[in-house]
Amino acid sequence: MDWLTPLLFDSNSIAHVLLVYSFVIAAGVAIGHIKVAGVSLGLTCVLFVGLAVNYAGFDVNPQVLQFIREFGLILFVFFIGLQVGPSFFSSFKSGGVLLNKLAITGVGLSLLVTVILYFIFSDTLSLPQFLGIHYGAVTNTPGLGATQEALAQLNYTGENIAVAYACAYPLAVVSIIGTAVFLRRWFDIDLAEEDRHWDEDEKAHSHAPIYFHVEVANRALEGRTLGDIRNFIGRAFVGSRLMRNGEITSVSGDTSVCQGDVLRIVTQEEHKEAIVAFFGAERDDVDLTTTDSSRLMSRRILISRHDVNGMTIADLHLSHYEGANITRVYRAGMELFPYSNLHLQVGDTVHTVGPESQLKRLERRLGNQVKRLEMPNLIMIFIGIALGIVFGSLPLAIPGMPVPVKLGLAGGPLIVAILLGRYGSQLHLVTYTTSSVNLMLRELGMALFLASVGLAAGTPFVEAVVHGNGPLYMGLGLVITIVPLLIVGYVARHVYNMNYHSIMGLLAGTTTNPPALAYAGSVTDNNSSAIAYSTVYPLTMFLRIVSGQLILIALWSFTVAAPVS
């Protein structure tokens, strides 16, 4: 049995460390799948298993624990950044502006409530403890990690703020869902009616490309090319098919039109009226994609060749493919209009139309090899992480702050990943990872981080709950959770008459809380709550990560913690 004792209790043994982490993560994930009243805590249960294991007497070398915690956090935020990067800036357009304004309001209110409560209870709890409560109340673990790092920069040696976080978190998950249910009762909302209104609004305000047919009835267009017509109208559109004398062919910008031609047009909703008026008449009695005489094919092609990464659609010179055309581009769940200056990225899927032989040529040019994308680009990933670490380590001097602000190991990699995800293709940098790889590395990083936090705070957590400030942490956390969400939910419904499903997605996104999103999705068959969640999630995650350390440094002189050395 001599082999068993060091395996179970030698905190410096590599085998012990791996065994403890494996057990904590496996047990936490398994328990996290259990639903109570339709709600599960998911990956967060890894934290609570870690607390229990640590309280039971199983320790890990503090230096090893700190390394695994920080590396796990970096993995999570970096791959979150890569995932949301392509849609980060576009989320501020149209309806996303209002959603993000409300999300910013929610973030600001939760910080304000936290600061007010801190000044009320400053004789009892320190500012770091309140920030631990705050991040538990808004269920944001990366923000906790960023704040812990900022405390280390300030040479803080006081209470472990993960204890306050762990006390506030479980009730926060329940209260977020409870707030959504309360708003539904408050405004007497009919879920079926909300579904109907959402479907109507979605059709009226959709920004995805639309498709319709026009007949060339304007005599002034005789002999004009589609490129000339597009420039004259000043509206972006693509002609995917043309029917002349019963024969259907593909078209390009150089195709000339004649009176009586029927064209299938791809454009955006706001351009349709002008395009129909200019051509002369809309034809809703034909569909050139189903006509028997059509010799054209449509095909979706995956961009997998690295040399195409960063090219614009104009760079492909589609005129060389004798009738092949790109009518839509699919990226990160978005459907994009194929503007000539749109930069293509590895991982994009393009919808093409044209003769089969030319589509095969275009397919060879773009790649369309799924297996090629199954291997992540490790070089670019670790270069990105390295750049994020350097960027996060840069001191940013702000007047009035006692020490320079650093974005740290959470904020730096997050910002670099967002920028790489959005602009990397324009620099011909391949940052694409498959959804499964991205999800796996995010989940692995968060599991390592949560296990590390739990393994460092088990005994203090139990002491706080049984003999210390645990009940106070929970009560203050409820206030920080509920008050901002009630205000944001009330404003969204009463002032802006926002759809209830979107409000639920907004509340879940403002707290970056997947269990709340899962509940929102369980009460409707449409994806309105998921759309609202994904719209506000990138900006909210960024603000949550950086705001805690800004509040900490700004109010450091008021804390009861030791002064900065």
Looking at the fold, whether 339 and 488 belong to one and the same domain comes out as: no
Q: Give kind and range of the element (H or E) at residue 349.
A: strand 349-354
Do the beta carbons of residue 503 and residue 106 sit within 8 Å? Answer: no
Whether the pTM exceeds 0.75: the reply is: no
Range of the domain at 287: 206-371
pLDDT band at residue 526 under the 50/70/90 scheme: low
Please check the confidence at residue 228 and state whether its pLDDT lies above 80. yes
Backbone conformation region of residue 399, classed left if phi is above 0, alpha if psi is from -120 to 50, else beta: beta
Amino acid (1-letter code) at residue 544:
R
Instruction: Give every strand in the sheet of 280-282, ordered side by side.
Output: 247-249, 237-244, 262-267, 210-216, 280-282
- Residue 43 maps to a domain: no
Residue 249 sits at φ, ψ, to 5 deg, of -130, 165
pLDDT band at 101 (very low <50, low <70, confident <90, very high): very high
- Rounded distance, CA 533 to CA 335, Å? 18
Least confident span in 157-166, 292-301, 436-445, 493-502: 292-301
* Last-in-domain residue among 321, 351, 371: 371
**Based on the domain organization, do 76 and 169 belong to the same domain?**
yes
Strands (E), 167-272: 210-216, 237-244, 247-249, 262-267
Examine the domain organization and report whether 314 and 231 are in the same domain.
yes
pLDDT at 18 over 60: yes
**d(C-alpha 326, C-alpha 324), whole Å:** 7
Structure confidence at residue 92 as a pLDDT band (50, 70, 90): low
In the chain, the number of structural domains is 2
Q: Is the pLDDT score of 425 beyond 80?
A: no
Calculate mean pLDDT across residues 164-170: 85
Confidence band, pLDDT 50/70/90 cuts, at residue 239: confident
Instruction: State the DSSP H helix or E strand holding residue 303, giving kind and residue range, or none if neither.
Output: none
Domain co-membership, 398 together with 525: yes
Residues 531 and 392 in one domain: yes
pLDDT digit string, tens, across residues 136-163:
899 887 788 878 877 877 778 777 888 8
Same domain, 236 and 296: yes
DSSP 60-78: --HHHHHHHHHHHHHHHHH
Calculate ∠ Cα 455-16-447, nearest 5°. Answer: 45
Residue ranges of alpha helices (H) inside 456-527 are 458-466, 470-490, 500-510, 514-522
Helix (H, G, I), strand (E, B) or coil at 471: helix
- Whether 360 and 386 map to the same domain: the answer is no
Whether residues 389 and 477 share a domain: the answer is yes
